[in-house]
């Protein structure tokens, strides 16, 4: 499974919520898909005011 979040940081003064959002989204996903931390790879990229968070989740073949 791959989860990608791309958003434009319109207001730099506003706190960076992406890390917290990422933790909560992973908590929701782990309710549906049985994964361990080792199977989750997170990549955050910043280009000017665009932030792209990519989360790769290796789902064991059931």
- Sites of contact with a second copy (CB under 8 A): 1-8, 10-11, 14, 17, 20-21, 24-25, 28-29, 31-32, 59, 61-62
| 4 vs 16: CA distance, rounded Å | 17
Residue 57 and residue 2 in contact, taking contact as beta carbons nearer than 8 Å: yes
**Minimum distance of a second copy from residue 47's CB (angstroms):** 14
**Minimum distance of a second copy from residue 38's CB (angstroms):** 18
53 CB neighbour count, 10 Å cutoff: 19
- Of 14 and 38, CB closest to a second copy: 14
- Of 7 and 46, CB closest to a second copy: 7
- CA 3 to chain CA mean position, Å: 6
């Amino acid at each position: 499974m791959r989860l990608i979040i791309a958003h434009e940081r319109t207001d730099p003064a506003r706190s960076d919520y992406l890390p917290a959002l990422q933790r909560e989204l992973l908590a929701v996903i782990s309710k549906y898909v049985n994964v361990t931390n080792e199977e989750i790879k997170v990549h955050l990229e910043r280009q000017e005011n665009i932030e792209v968070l990519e989360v790769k989740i290796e789902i064991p073949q059931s």
